[in-house]
Structure 1
Amino acid sequence: MNLLLDLAITAGPVVYAVYAVAFAVVVLLVLRRPGMRWTRRRWLTEAAAAAAAGAIVGVALTWILSDWLDLFGADLTLVVRVWIAVGFAAFGIAIVSMRRASWMRVVGSALALVLFVLTTAMAVNIDFGQYPTVRSALGISAIVDASSQPLPTTALVAVPTIADWVAPATMPKAGTLTTVPIPASESGFPARPGVVYLPPAALTANPPKLPVMVMMSGQPGSPQDPFITDKLQQSLDAYATAHDGLAPIVVAPDQLGDPTANPMCVDSPLGKSQSYLTVDVPNWIKANLNVIDDPHYWAIGGLSQGGTCSIQLGAAFPNIFGVILDASGEQYPRIGDAQMTADAAFGGSLARYEAAYPTNIMQQHGQYADTFAVFGVGSNDETFLPQVKTIYAAAQAAGMKSTYIEAQGSAHDSTTWSYVFAQGLQLIADHWSLSANKTG
């Protein structure tokens, strides 16, 4: 069963097989008339017309939902738009082939329609990279639950510093991921369980205290996404391998409450997401993990909606987070136009809403004494790239030591976020001197 769940659906033999079967079914539907009442010429004309109509519907629907209503919060790439048009063209052929056909043909065409829906969804997913495996697409986690494998506790012995750290021979080769409940004791926020990454050094009998990163998914999303979909675990393990098992401890809490929700990391009628992330999560980290209790060694980051949250909270709470990693975040939180957002979370007040803009938070705070910020975005991300550049400039103006990363040839997708996380991790570790006097 695990073998099936772990099948890759963004690359490899499964993808080629699905494409091949879908193409073969389209050819079969076109070559075989629905019944003898159809002449070949008439059927081919009907099929061509249905395909054209389907493609037009697909293009129009994409424009309405993405460009006009902006339901997805990001521009869809040309690749996605083409696949949607192709998929709807296939839908059209499958639907028209049911007309005046035998029941067997109707059933076969219905099954073909399901295949075309799945193929189109898979093609769109390949471009975004949101669900790399069958398991992730079904929402089934492979991460160990803390109830079956508790987080290690630290022995009451002298704790080595990072500079004095010597990796023992028994140190694990890779870090671990664990699913843990992080109680919303103060906020009451309905958070799903979070995910904790412990590097190899943290899994030893006498580990050093380490920096900590609080990382957030996009929306829709889940706490495991930064590690699995966006390959942060791979980047952390690679860094640890090159540096005697040292890497940050990473905690991915749930800032959404539900995949479809967007409480915008503020305290509002939508939920006290801000209090959860700035009170409950830090309190839990300090009580349960072997981290350095100093804002200089605390980072907050995320992708897309999580990136927006990271600059909001990093700018508003430098006393908690001294480092920010914003991957493709927006210029300001939103769940629609300005008035809609103000009505949902700010009592209808546009002034209160605008006060939550990261640029205004930074301006209100004044110059930052010890904040390091990394901003990253895809070069083809037409919607988010100018917004990230605006925030980056504002951070520089506010005195943050800031770095800008542009992932070439990618857009608002996991390719960008994997690249930004990998590059950002190295920059942040250097800021913390985590690699000082270590190999690699």
Structure 2
Amino acid sequence: MKSLLPDVSPLSFSPLDVSLTAAPLLAALYGITVLALLFVLLNPTGVRRAVVTVSGALVGAATGWVLAWFISDVWDPWGVSLSTGTRLWAVALLAGVAMVLLNLRGQPRWRRAIAICALPLCLLSATAGINADIGEFPTVRVALGLDAFQPLSQTLATARGDAQAASTAGTTVASTGTVGTVTIPGTVSGFAARSAMVYLPPAATGTNPAALPVVVMLSGQPGSPSDVFTAGGLANILDRYAKAHSGLAPIVVVPDQLGSPSSNPMCVNSALGRVDTYLTIDVPAWIRAHLHVKDQPSAWTIAGFSQGGTCSIQLGAAHPELFGSILDIAGEVVPKNGSEAHTVAAGFDGDAAAYAAAAPVAILAAHAPYTALGAIFVAGDGDPRFLPGVRTLADAAAGAGVDTHLFVSPGTAHDWHTVDYAWTRALPIIAARTGLLAPDSVGMTG
């Protein structure tokens, strides 16, 4: 079988597959930047210039911290607090820039040339450090937007062809799953969704495959379904699990609940789009028609990160007849599109009561007591904006009779590292709840 993940074997290695978060690359970049700064600073310029340089660096550092605070906590364009690591990179960047600018005048030409080169090095180091902190762009390919996935039918045909060739040659096929794009139309909802993503484990593409559990996974906002596999590395996590369990892992379907990267219809039915209907009627109908999955609610999980996490607890708690398990990774306490006033106006036609009823805590209370629903809640310990809400939701779920697990990811914030931690901890629980290791009868049909 053939994986869509980058093949980095010696014969097929591409510079596009260089890891942007690998320690050796980052250490080399940081080292070169520090050396450039030292060349600029370590020169016989006298006490006065030294005092000015130190003062400028302190002013630059303070400006960086204030700028990060303003962007994160005042302007708040993403609805997410910047992590301490990202804030410190802003401090280091502006401190470095200030030191360089204050040492350009009165220097030999070769020192000025090095100083000019130090400026982009500072910017590049800060960008790389922030990216490593967030985990958004793991490789050059992803950063350039070149990690295009093929349609699932085409990918499956290639994988099966490779498997046949390997079988004929008497070789062993690698135990990796298959990732591809599909179109899930909004037949009932009318929602104009972008292409969805599907992961099929090795057991789903073999001869006479058994029916497997399914996870409906939702990305954050802004974002797209492919983020789950590019930034989130979900296929790697599932492949590792499958390798340890005879090729078995859940089928994962990642539909588009946004419509566009900047949209946020909040997974409700409104003038912004009938997303509730899309995710609870159109998507399940497509899955049943095209994928060989177990049909009972106990085998279905809804999961999501950030805005997708909010959707997962909303829809999972409201539809226990459809989903038996929920994985909420750093979701919000309430659906949100800007301010509360804007949320009520845009998503609930001005009906404050309808908005209140759509809060996951209200949904849990309205459907309590649950008898078979399970929920896993995860947030990073460096995510002060979302962690308290996740704790609140976990308490509400447990109080409503939901089989509840709460995990706090050490050393991560509202980022893809938390998603990695969440899936690694949640996958064995999901496997146990969905009966993954005792399949009853996976793959693509039709």
Which category describes the TM-score, using the shorter chain as reference length?
0.7 to 0.9
Among candidates 2, 9, 26, match of residue 15 of structure 1: 26
What is the distance in 2 between the residues matched to 1:437 and 1:139? 37
| Contact preservation (8 Å) 1:372, 1:400 | yes
What is the distance in 2 between the residues matched to 1:333 and 1:98? 51
2:65 corresponds in structure 1 to 59
Structure 1 window deviating more from structure 2 (232-241 vs 306-315): it is 232-241
- The yes-or-no answer on 1:189 pairing with 2:191 is yes
* Aligned 1:144-293 pairs, distance under 5 A: 144-146=150-152, 148-150=154-156, 173-293=175-295
Q: In structure 1, give the amino acid aligned to 2:245.
A: H
TM-score, reference length from structure 2: 0.84
CA deviations 1:58-115 (Å, max 9, x no partner) are 1111111212333343333322222210111123234455679999998876654333
- The yes-or-no answer on 1:405 pairing with 2:416 is no
What is the distance in 2 between the residues matched to 1:281 and 1:403? 26
What is the distance in 1 between the residues matched to 2:182 and 2:105? 53
Residue 171 of structure 1: CA displacement?
7.0
2:309 corresponds in structure 1 to 307
Determine helix, strand or coil for the equivalent of 1:149.
helix
* Cα distance change on mapping 1:206 and 1:147 into 2, 3 Å: closer
* Cα distance change on mapping 1:43 and 1:280 into 2, 3 Å: farther
- The yes-or-no answer on 1:5 pairing with 2:7 is no
Q: In structure 1, give the amino acid aligned to 2:75.
A: L
What is the distance in 1 between the residues matched to 2:61 and 2:335? 34
Determine helix, strand or coil for the equivalent of 2:155.
coil
What is the distance in 1 between the residues matched to 2:54 and 2:414? 34
1:157 corresponds in structure 2 to none
2:344 corresponds in structure 1 to 342
| Contact preservation (8 Å) 1:232, 1:422 | no
What is the distance in 1 between the residues matched to 2:92 and 2:434? 49
1:30 corresponds in structure 2 to 41
What is the distance in 2 between the residues matched to 1:286 and 1:110? 60
What is the distance in 2 between the residues matched to 1:110 and 1:258? 40
- The yes-or-no answer on 1:136 pairing with 2:139 is no
Structure 1 window deviating more from structure 2 (123-132 vs 224-233): it is 224-233
Structure 1 window deviating more from structure 2 (99-108 vs 377-386): it is 99-108
What is the distance in 1 between the residues matched to 2:191 and 2:114? 48
* Cα distance change on mapping 1:124 and 1:203 into 2, 3 Å: same
Among candidates 351, 356, 374, match of residue 372 of structure 1: 374
1:159 corresponds in structure 2 to none
| Contact preservation (8 Å) 2:65, 2:90 | yes
Determine helix, strand or coil for the equivalent of 1:403.
strand
Structure 1 window deviating more from structure 2 (420-429 vs 237-246): it is 237-246
Residue 230 of structure 1: CA displacement?
3.0
What is the distance in 2 between the residues matched to 1:258 and 1:32? 53
CA deviations 1:139-185 (Å, max 9, x no partner) are 3225343364257999xxxxxxxxxxxxxx98752211112232233
What is the distance in 1 between the residues matched to 2:419 and 2:438? 26
Among candidates 295, 320, 323, match of residue 322 of structure 2: 320
- The yes-or-no answer on 1:47 pairing with 2:50 is no
1:420 corresponds in structure 2 to 422
2:131 corresponds in structure 1 to 125
Determine helix, strand or coil for the equivalent of 2:247.
coil
What is the distance in 1 between the residues matched to 2:64 and 2:256? 34
Residue 345 of structure 1: CA displacement?
2.0
* Cα distance change on mapping 1:42 and 1:256 into 2, 3 Å: farther
| Contact preservation (8 Å) 2:300, 2:324 | yes
- Structure 1 residue runs of 5 or longer lacking an equivalent are 34-38, 155-168
Determine helix, strand or coil for the equivalent of 1:214.
strand
| Contact preservation (8 Å) 1:152, 1:203 | no
2:163 corresponds in structure 1 to none
Determine helix, strand or coil for the equivalent of 1:251.
strand
1:113 corresponds in structure 2 to 119
The count of residues paired between Structure 1 and Structure 2 equals 419
Determine helix, strand or coil for the equivalent of 2:14.
helix
What is the distance in 2 between the residues matched to 1:102 and 1:260? 49
| Contact preservation (8 Å) 2:213, 2:435 | no
1:36 corresponds in structure 2 to none
TM-score, reference length from structure 1: 0.85
| Contact preservation (8 Å) 1:197, 1:251 | yes
- Structure 2 residue runs of 5 or longer lacking an equivalent are 1-11, 161-170, 441-446
Q: In structure 1, give the amino acid aligned to 2:241.
A: Y
